[in-house]
Amino acid sequence: MDKNARIAIIGAGPAGLSAGMYLEKKGFFNYTIFEKEDHVGGKCHSPVYNGRRYEMGAIMGAPSYFAVHEVEEFCGITHDGPQLIRKYKDKDGREIDPFNPRKNPLQIPHMLKMKGQVKKLAELLETKYKGYDVNGHRGVAEGRYDGYAATASHEHVEGHNENLKDLCLPFKDFCALNDIELVQDIWVGPYTSFGYGYFDEIPAAYVLKYLDFATTMYFINLNLWTWKDGTQSIWEHLNAKLKHGARLNSDITHIERKDGTVTITVNGQQEVFDQLIVTSPLQYFGSYADIREDEKSHFDKIDYERYDVLAVETKPEDHPDISYYVFENMTPERRGHLMVYYNRWRDDVNQPITTYALRNHKDEKEIPYDVCKKTVLNDLKTMHNPASNVIKEQAWYYFPHIYSEDYKAGWYDEVEAMQGRYNTYYAGEVMSFGDMEETAEYSRDLVERFF
């Protein structure tokens, strides 16, 4: 592609800003990043309270976050935030220690069986499912892998593995197929509680590409990264480092792709480009763009999670000493209930804690937002950490994805075949996974393939 091509990027979250970084690394500098909000970072959102930043979106990274680390190196920053520590409660607010055999002697046989199944999964992923952790979903439904490996070297790998078709199954069915049902007790903590849905509805490919074995072990052992100024600061640093930082408060009302150019109406003015990279939700692309039938027929199949986050104050005497997970609330039957509450700054009882809840499940009635909010606040009382005030709330458009039927039918390969058609490229969460590592890595893949 011509290095002087005029490139428009929609969205200044991890995907869009990473696309800008990788374009620069390949010698493309004639790009513009449009962001509708007044800040960058997308779901890496870290507001300030009493002089410190707390998290309303992404919380952490891990040593397996190689793309994020590449951003750190590009910007000259590092992960310098507070250590993550957690405890557990049951749904009635009693503190428990579910993985400690000394406190649960009757559960020792169960724990040993679970440990054996985790080991079995590790072996399966290395052998039967070789290629499972390659970034993106290209080829999986066809029994092949093609993309960047989850390694620091970012090596491109490809090959055939018919067993990868099993990843189209819901994760619960995938585990049953391989007689490893108990691994769900481990994977649910960093998966469902972080807003990515339930194992009986979400294809295993999403679960295992986000929580590859190494990343899951880092989570279990609390070998995790945080940033003092929040995850948003990563992308603020990147935005400042780029030759062309994002244009904030950009209200795009129309996109017309015609005669080999892309005309974007933004804040009432028309601007002309040669190529378009869309990192904002594809499900809403047709609300402002001249969407074509092949795009619409695919994008209409995207669903998303209704994931709600509250930042709340507590009275000093009610402030939790640590972050808590409530595993009993991580089931479809308990949707709308508090799954996690996060105490980021444990040295300061005057800092907010943040709560997380899911309120939808495939083919079941969605819990209304206000009902979920009330439920979560009641749950905090049950946990003996009642909120005295809600200071911020966010109902996220979260984890866009497709379900097993469409995954198996080749949705990803069909959309990948559309890349570049209409001078348009599709990136962002749905093309990989809804976390900052996978979206950043996919932008790298996209730029390497097409620019």
* pLDDT digit string, tens, across residues 205-241: 999 999 999 999 999 999 999 999 999 999 999 999 9
Among residues 358, 374, 400, the one where a domain terminates is: 400
* pLDDT digit string, tens, across residues 101-131: 888 888 899 999 999 999 999 999 999 999 9
CB distance 32 to 273 below 8 Å:
yes
* CATH assignment at residue 259: 3.50.50.60
Across the range 383-407, mean pLDDT stands at: 97
In a domain, 41, yes or no: yes
pLDDT at 101: 85
How many residues are recorded in the chain? Answer: 451
β-strands 261-266, 252-258: how paired?
A: antiparallel
Run of H or E including 126: helix 108-126
Q: Which residues pair with 231 in a beta bridge?
A: none
In a domain, 95, yes or no: no
Q: CA–CA separation, 131 vs 194, rounded Å?
A: 25
The torsion angle over the Cα atoms of residues 444, 215, 44 and 339, rounded to 10 degrees, is 150
* Same domain (yes/no): 298, 408: yes
In a domain, 2, yes or no: no
In a domain, 272, yes or no: yes
* Same domain (yes/no): 189, 167: yes
Domain with 167, as residue range(s), is 107-220
pTM greater than 0.85:
yes
Q: CA–CA separation, 211 vs 186, rounded Å?
A: 11
pLDDT at 396: 94
* pLDDT digit string, tens, across residues 341-367: 999 999 999 999 999 999 999 999 999
Among residues 190, 220, 250, the one where a domain terminates is: 220
How many Cα atoms occupy the beta-carbon half-sphere of 100 within 13 Å?
7
375: pLDDT strictly greater than 90: yes
* Burial of residue 303 (number of CB atoms within 10 Å: 0-12, 13-18, 19+): middle
Q: CA–CA separation, 211 vs 64, rounded Å?
A: 10
Q: What is the CA radius of gyration of the chain?
A: 22
* Same domain (yes/no): 160, 171: yes
In a domain, 98, yes or no: no
**In which residue are the tokens 């449009």 written?**
34
381 CB neighbour count, 10 Å cutoff:
12
Q: Which residues of 135-146 are buried (b: 16+ CB within 10 A; e: fewer)?
A: bbbbbbbebbbb
Across the range 285-310, mean pLDDT stands at: 98
CB distance 145 to 161 below 8 Å:
yes
Among residues 220, 244, 260, the one where a domain terminates is: 220
**Number of domains the chain is built from:** 3
pLDDT at 127: 98
In a domain, 251, yes or no: yes
96 CB neighbour count, 10 Å cutoff:
16
pLDDT at 154: 82
pLDDT at 102: 85
Question: Rounded mean pLDDT of the chain?
Answer: 97
* Same domain (yes/no): 196, 128: yes
* CATH assignment at residue 173: 1.10.405.20
Q: What are phi and psi of 197, to 5 degrees?
A: 90, -175
* pLDDT digit string, tens, across residues 148-175: 988 888 889 999 999 999 999 999 999 9
* Same domain (yes/no): 214, 149: yes
In a domain, 91, yes or no: no
Report residue 136's pLDDT band, with 50, 70 and 90 as the boundaries: very high
* CATH assignment at residue 351: 3.30.70.1990
In a domain, 179, yes or no: yes
pLDDT at 293: 98
* Same domain (yes/no): 149, 283: no
pLDDT at 130: 97
* Burial of residue 241 (number of CB atoms within 10 Å: 0-12, 13-18, 19+): middle
